[in-house]
Structure 1
Amino acid sequence: MSQQKPALRTHPPEDKPKRFVFVLLEAFSLLSFAAAIESLRIANRMANRKVYDWRIIGEGGDIIHCSSGSGFKLDGDLEDLTRDDVVLICGGINIQDATTKRLLGWVRREARKGLMLGGLCTAGYALARAGLLDGKRATIHWENQDSFSEEFQEVDLTKSVFVIDGNRVTTAGGTSSIDLMLKLIANDQGEELANLVADQLIYSSIRTDQDTQRLSVPTRIGVRHPKLSKVIQMMESNIEEPISPSILAKNVGMSTRQLERLFRRYLNRSPKRYYMELRLQKARNLLMQTDMSVINVALACGFASPSHFSKCYRSHYDTTPYRERGSHATRLSV
């Protein structure tokens, strides 16, 4: 990398650096955390001065492990902060277990100071559990969206890569931390510095809060057929009350037989089978990420009876919903 740095607008020397406080939860996503903190480091380098400072804390103040198992030395325990701090909680896998009573109490106390609070990756769950996202727009990793929307119906959940709603910030995880940090840097220091940071990160497609976190249906299924994409979107939006193949076909101006041929040609399965797989995938997410009863999971995924749900689940995953939940709980306790 070139050591030459472009001249940026000057700031008076008495300007204090803005401090970010990263709260690492057990099994946090290393990518989400690293993308955020590296953006701040590069901003300081490209600005030729320390515009940002940071501190890394967590429960116990000792060693915390990311989802890949590597340990990180914390700067301190959960501590009193100032109103000017920006707090970013970093989540990852098993977010329900990582959201402890002590963390929730601390987050609520700090929130009363009026500081900016954010959740990276799955940490939006912790903010929602603390009641800090009620009535606000938010996002979370797509894999956790089903369980989140079931548990926190008072939160306006979106599919955006990141959301800033007042002094609450959430991201979808992964590289979306970069998009968020570039937005915050642009707000603080101007677009010029944010663009220089993006260049250093080799990040050529900066996303906004209007961008969604998952690939479009055509990209995801590897097929660019407008009617097929529209049908799949309708399926994904109507899991609890499935729409019949005949109505799906009618909505895109096709016969049921034409729709069958379309799915067979491009996806090698019937519309009914594809729809069933979508519903079972949501059911699996709910079983593993919520405390919903099996019967409520069945109803949320469009199954009229637990017995039919169990039969379909066993056929697809080679285990029952009850055993799936039991084996998942066993894995978490190991």
Structure 2
Amino acid sequence: MSYFVKPMTRLEPHLAPVQRIIDRNPTGADAVTRQTTFEFILIDAFSMVSVVTAIEPLRVANRILGEERYVWYVTQEAGAPPEASNGLSLPTQPIQPDDVAVDYTFLCAGMHTHPRDATRLYALLNRRYAAGRTVGAVSLAPAILARAGLLKDKRCVIHWEGLGAFVEEFPHVEILNGLFEIDGRVITSSGGLAMLDLFLDILKRDQESWLVQAVSNQLQIGQARSGSDRQSAGQFRLPVTAPRMMHKALAVIDQTLAAPLSPDSLADQIGTSRRTLDRRFQEFTQSTVAEFYRARRLEQARGLLRYSNISILDVALSTGFPTASYFSSLFKSAYGLSPKQFRKAAS
């Protein structure tokens, strides 16, 4: 089943200003319309919000234009319909055959990155790319693209929760901390609401600015974010009004989880005093520098336990804990389960 909007001859009254713009930018007999086709392949436990926020800008663009400029297919591998991580499902159809003109193929993952038939899916993605199509991956799905060999010499992003496991598995892939990345015909997105920003960017590359603004207005978006905007990692997010030194401190912390700095060294690196650093951390995180650092390292470790197969000792060492026993004690205190129990439950 494909999803698109029935063409309209005129827009609803409240869209009259947009209609006047369309009248000056003809799309009917006076213009040649080329449809752009998107394919979303759902992986088990995919993120529902990522898929919906990708489709909505396309739907609204069709509605404003009054024609089926954008077409999309929601597809799946063979077998039972995949469930999203929230337990719901979407109507799907089989993956499109090679002779269907698909411009973009997006892999949509969420809680895990293991396709039902990895060999067949990798081959499909490589055929799509070899045929000149654009391939994309959402949330944790960039790991699937990497296993398919499609991230060689490419920049990419991944949701922060899977970053540690991705770096362990693919140390030579250039990974960034942005919301999304478009590198030629390979697109990666950190998922969630970043898909809305990505698809507005895709529309911007395909349409005039008036349409992108009209779509943004319909979706009540004040300002779309750029792909280079940093992800907000972990359970904590600084307010935009926080001083620059705090943003710098959190960036340094995220870059040094495997070899944590002392509070004094962190203060030196960001160009402030230890006293000021302590005061700002208490003000904005309600914790000390050491407590915040430890919490971020444990979050990183939790992601490694869930999304990688490396040993518990290696998880401990890669997040700056000197022994497995010390790491296990802190992990259980924070999450109520030992690392071994957590990994078993997550699987």
- Give the structure-2-normalised TM-score: 0.84
| Structure 2 residue 24 is the aligned partner of structure 1 residue 6 | no
AA in 1 matched with 2:337: T
SS at match of 2:227: coil
Tell me by how many angstroms 1:130 deviates.
Answer: 1.0
Distance across 2 between alignment mates of 1:238 and 1:327: 28
Distance 1:319 1:55, change over 3 A: closer
Gaps of 5+ in 1: 330-334
Alignment of 1:141-220 (within 5 A): 141-214=159-232, 220=238
Tell me by how many angstroms 1:208 deviates.
Answer: 1.7
1:332 matched residue in structure 2? none
Distance across 2 between alignment mates of 1:94 and 1:328: 10
Distance across 1 between alignment mates of 2:44 and 2:283: 45
| Structure 2 residue 303 is the aligned partner of structure 1 residue 285 | yes
How many residues were matched structurally? 329
Stretch of structure 1 that moved more, 194-203 or 107-116: 107-116
Residue-by-residue CA offset, 1:100-133 (whole Å, 9 max, x unaligned):
3332232223222121111122222221221111
Tell me by how many angstroms 1:97 deviates.
Answer: 5.5
Residue-by-residue CA offset, 1:152-204 (whole Å, 9 max, x unaligned):
22322112221110001111112222222122222222222111111111111
1:40 matched residue in structure 2? 58
Check conservation: 1:218, 1:229, Cα contact below 8 A: no
Check conservation: 1:61, 1:74, Cα contact below 8 A: no
SS at match of 2:94: coil
2:3 matched residue in structure 1? none
Stretch of structure 1 that moved more, 95-104 or 213-222: 213-222
> Which one of 97, 106, 112 corresponds to residue 79 of structure 1?
97
Tell me by how many angstroms 1:248 deviates.
Answer: 2.1
> Which one of 254, 258, 265 corresponds to residue 247 of structure 1?
265
AA in 2 matched with 1:316: A
> Which one of 305, 308, 319 corresponds to residue 326 of structure 2?
308
Tell me by how many angstroms 1:327 deviates.
Answer: 2.3
Distance 1:250 1:22, change over 3 A: closer
Tell me by how many angstroms 1:206 deviates.
Answer: 1.2
Stretch of structure 1 that moved more, 268-277 or 194-203: 268-277
Distance across 1 between alignment mates of 2:174 and 2:252: 20
SS at match of 2:238: helix
Distance 1:139 1:266, change over 3 A: closer
AA in 1 matched with 2:229: D
Residue-by-residue CA offset, 1:219-255 (whole Å, 9 max, x unaligned):
5279834544443332222111111223223345555
Distance across 2 between alignment mates of 1:268 and 1:242: 20
Runs of 4+ in 1 over 6 A off after TM superposition: 215-218
Distance across 1 between alignment mates of 2:148 and 2:129: 10
Tell me by how many angstroms 1:268 deviates.
Answer: 4.3
Q: Percent identity?
A: 30
1:115 matched residue in structure 2? 133
Stretch of structure 1 that moved more, 35-44 or 84-93: 84-93
2:256 matched residue in structure 1? 238
Tell me by how many angstroms 1:285 deviates.
Answer: 1.0
1:89 matched residue in structure 2? 107
Check conservation: 2:38, 2:102, Cα contact below 8 A: no
AA in 2 matched with 1:189: Q
Tell me by how many angstroms 1:267 deviates.
Answer: 4.0
Distance 1:148 1:3, change over 3 A: same
Gaps of 5+ in 2: 1-11
Tell me by how many angstroms 1:316 deviates.
Answer: 2.8
Distance across 1 between alignment mates of 2:283 and 2:34: 62
Distance 1:251 1:64, change over 3 A: closer
AA in 2 matched with 1:10: P
Check conservation: 2:242, 2:284, Cα contact below 8 A: no
Tell me by how many angstroms 1:62 deviates.
Answer: 6.1
AA in 2 matched with 1:281: E
Stretch of structure 1 that moved more, 178-187 or 267-276: 267-276
AA in 2 matched with 1:186: K
Distance 1:68 1:204, change over 3 A: same
Check conservation: 2:278, 2:289, Cα contact below 8 A: yes
Distance 1:209 1:284, change over 3 A: same
Check conservation: 1:93, 1:122, Cα contact below 8 A: yes
SS at match of 1:143: helix
Residue-by-residue CA offset, 1:74-121 (whole Å, 9 max, x unaligned):
133453255652112222222336673332232223222121111122
